[in-house]
């Protein structure tokens, strides 16, 4: 047997004592350079199995993307927007259409109302990503219209609504690491359309409530905020989950434990949307671009943290 394959024996004569004193896991190449001969073990590659930890790339983490390493939702949202500035584009284009619609409503012969609440502080929040429009067309303005005017009024509202739907879909799709099923787009669009019609009908029927009692108002606000938090994820779960009721159930269940963080996002988006709409001339553009984009990206961030946790 050749000498370089024999195990060193303590006390034996060795023509090269420096090699004997070297680490047994290394082989001498020359007088100055050594390389390890031991190969990585399975424990080195996969971590200590007893501790349940694995050495893996951050890209393999199913819960928090490396760009979302910051624990706060808003900072993680900002990181995604900095990484991909094109996320601003869909709602910017939708905001441009909303601005044109504002100008048309102001100059056409049909009645229009302001979409900005005149108050010291107001939260203009919708369950789906959108903005606050400076002008709105009440449902009553469409009654008894001649077909050409009716077609014009309906067409204008549908174009703006379609732009908001497409912008929400595209922004959430680009912000997400996993692809969406295209057939879920119709479910999302139907949900936005149904909610829009419901709100307009409720407003036309005068289903509004106001009170001068502070405690009653605070209780009502707390109840609305609780529902908004529980249903916060519905827009993105509509694109991820099957069926119609399943997305609502997933949103309600997954948002538990994240109530404070989600409530902060809801209030920030709602108040920011209302405040940006106050900008002269381009209020609808500013509100839709900023509030819509931040809302859509934060939906993806919260979904990946809540559902995959």
Give the pLDDT confidence score for residue 83 in this predicted structure.
93
- CA distance between the termini of the chain: 58
Q: What's the whole-model pTM score?
A: 0.74
Distance CA 82, CA 76 (A): 10
Neighbours of 171 (CB within 10 A): 26
Give the pLDDT confidence score for residue 208 in this predicted structure.
63
What average pLDDT values come out for the chain (309 residues) when binned by 10 residues?
44 46 43 43 41 36 43 88 96 98 93 76 90 91 90 96 97 90 91 92 71 74 92 94 89 90 94 94 96 97 83
Give the pLDDT confidence score for residue 121 in this predicted structure.
76
List CB contacts of 208: < 8 A, sequence separation 6 or more. Answer: 202
């Amino acid at each position: 047997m050749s000498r370089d394959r024999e195990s060193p024996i303590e006390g034996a004569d060795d023509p090269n004592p420096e090699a004997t004193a070297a680490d047994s896991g290394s082989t001498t190449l020359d007088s100055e350079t050594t390389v390890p001969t031991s190969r990585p073990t399975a424990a080195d590659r996969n971590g200590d199995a007893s501790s349940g930890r694995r050495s893996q790339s951050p890209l393999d983490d199913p819960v928090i993307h490396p760009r979302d390493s910051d624990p706060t939702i808003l900072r993680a949202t900002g990181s995604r927007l900095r990484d991909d500035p094109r996320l601003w584009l869909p709602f910017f284009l939708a905001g441009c259409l909303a601005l044109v619609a504002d100008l048309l409503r102001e100059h056409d012969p049909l009645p229009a109302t302001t979409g900005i609440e005149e108050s010291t502080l107001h939260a203009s929040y919708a369950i789906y990503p959108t903005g606050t429009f400076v002008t709105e067309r009440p449902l009553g303005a469409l009654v008894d219209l001649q077909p050409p005017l009716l077609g014009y009024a309906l067409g204008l509202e549908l174009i703006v609504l379609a732009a908001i739907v497409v912008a929400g879909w595209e922004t959430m799709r680009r912000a997400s690491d996993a692809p969406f099923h295209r057939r879920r787009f119709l479910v999302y669009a139907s949900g936005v359309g149904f909610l829009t019609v419901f709100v307009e009908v409720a407003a036309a029927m005068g289903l509004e409530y106001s009170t001068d009692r502070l405690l009653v108002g605070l209780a009502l606000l707390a109840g609305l905020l609780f529902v908004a938090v529980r249903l916060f994820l519905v827009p993105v779960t509509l694109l991820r989950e099957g069926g119609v009721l399943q997305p609502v159930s997933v949103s309600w269940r997954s948002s538990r434990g994240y109530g404070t963080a989600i409530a902060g996002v809801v209030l920030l988006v709602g108040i920011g949307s209302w405040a940006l709409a106050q900008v002269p001339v381009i209020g609808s553009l500013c509100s839709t671009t900023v509030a819509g984009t931040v809302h859509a990206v934060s939906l993806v961030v919260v979904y990946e943290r809540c559902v995959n946790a």
